[in-house]
A = this chain, B = another copy of it.
Amino acid sequence: MKPNSPKISRSPTILDVARRAGVSKSTVSNVIRDADCVAAPMRARVKDAISLLSYRPNALARQLVQQRTTMFGVVVGDLANPFHGEMAKQVELHAAAQGYRTMFVNTQADEAEAAGLESLLQYRVAGILFLAHAETTKRARQLVAGKVPAVFVTCSTDWGDVVCGDDRRGAEEATRHLLSLGHRRIAYFADPIVEDAADRARQTGYREVMAEAGLTPTVFRWRRSPSRLFRNDREVTPEDVLRGKRRMTAVFSSNDLGAIEVLDCADRLGIRVPEDLSVVGFDDVVMARLARINLTTVAQPQEDLARLAIDTMTARLQGSLQGRPVRRTVELRLIVRGSTAPPGAG
């Protein structure tokens, strides 16, 4: 109604700044974008007006007109999982260092993932980083493939760039470590929360080294809630595996959480680690370092992985990386702690 009643406390726009400084919109725009075509005194005047009004550029408007955003979508399996939490942190850190904000999408349920991805795409994120991904999910592919670059960290796919550790070599090293200690009956325990491709690679490393040594690989798989152990879809108890004459003397777990579960079982069954049972994990989560856990494990260099992932993403965005998906791996190294020893060391 009253034409000159000011809208209360609307945040100032570039136009307000321009009026205040007595210049035009574009001069202000030039100043805030650090364009080099503005005279020093003019620039100072504009900057004064900016801080006077405490003007803050509207990223939405800018990105709308520029037709590109500086946001990444990050799909993370479960932030409560310490490995994912740490990875997420590193990814956010490196993205921020490159001027990108991150939108997180927690997922586990398939439906949530699809909805989350859809929403990320509506925000026109510049790219999507997958810190977890079920390969079986064809949905993700049809949703994002070709629209924005996707890079998969610590998980795998054939339709996007992949950054991960050399899982197979890592598993080989772990298995060799157990062999060199004198173990012969070494089991592989698969935790289903490990991505399929990573699990396969680790399993392959394990199987190969076992075969080389003339030993039979034995693979078990956890099923969650409540935790139960399966071999070839036949349920077996941890007791079956860890007790008796034909018992396993060592377990190589596909991740640290699984390894810690094995420690728990051992404790319950009164089996001593490492005297009666050696355990090796994978990831080197912070927890693994605790004196009470003290787990021998294959360390994943989370910071390197995150940096490489962000670098790959920005390379795609700048066009310095083009064409077919690439796969970049980093070396893994075994950290020997107190959960492994020669069999019968007690």
Instruction: Name A residues whose Cβ lies closer than 8 Å to a Cβ of B.
Output: 11, 56-61, 63-64, 69, 71, 78-82, 84-86, 88-89, 92-93, 96, 101-106, 112, 115-116, 118-124, 147, 260, 263-264, 267-268, 286-287, 290-293
Interface of A is mostly: helix
Docked-complex contact B103 and A58, CB < 8 angstroms: no
Docked-complex contact A104 and B106, CB < 8 angstroms: no
CA–CA, A48 and B119, complex, Å: 20
Docked-complex contact B106 and A103, CB < 8 angstroms: no
CA–CA, A104 and B124, complex, Å: 17
The chain B residue sitting closest to A81, CB to CB, is B85
Which residues of B lie under 8 Å from residue A119 when comparing CB positions?
59, 101
Say how far A73's CB is from chain B's closest CB, in angstroms: 9
Which residues of B lie under 8 Å from residue A58 when comparing CB positions?
64, 122, 124
Copies of this chain in the oligomer: 2
Say how far A293's CB is from chain B's closest CB, in angstroms: 6
Docked-complex contact A79 and B92, CB < 8 angstroms: yes
Which residues of B lie under 8 Å from residue A122 when comparing CB positions?
56-59
Which of A78, A82, A85, A291 neighbours the largest number of chain B CB atoms within 10 Å of its CB?
A85
Known A79-B85, A101-B103, A263-B290; further 9 A-B contacts with Cβ < 8 A? A58-B122, A59-B123, A60-B60, A60-B69, A71-B103, A78-B89, A80-B286, A92-B106, A101-B123
Say how far A18's CB is from chain B's closest CB, in angstroms: 18
CA–CA, A263 and B289, complex, Å: 13
A63 contact from B60, B80, B102, Cβ within 8 A: B60
A82 contact from B82, B102, B106, Cβ within 8 A: B82
Take A124-B58, A263-B291 as given contacts and tell me if A80 and B86 are in contact as well, using a CB distance cutoff of 8 Å. yes
Docked-complex contact A86 and B92, CB < 8 angstroms: no
Which residues of B lie under 8 Å from residue A85 when comparing CB positions?
79-82, 84-85, 88
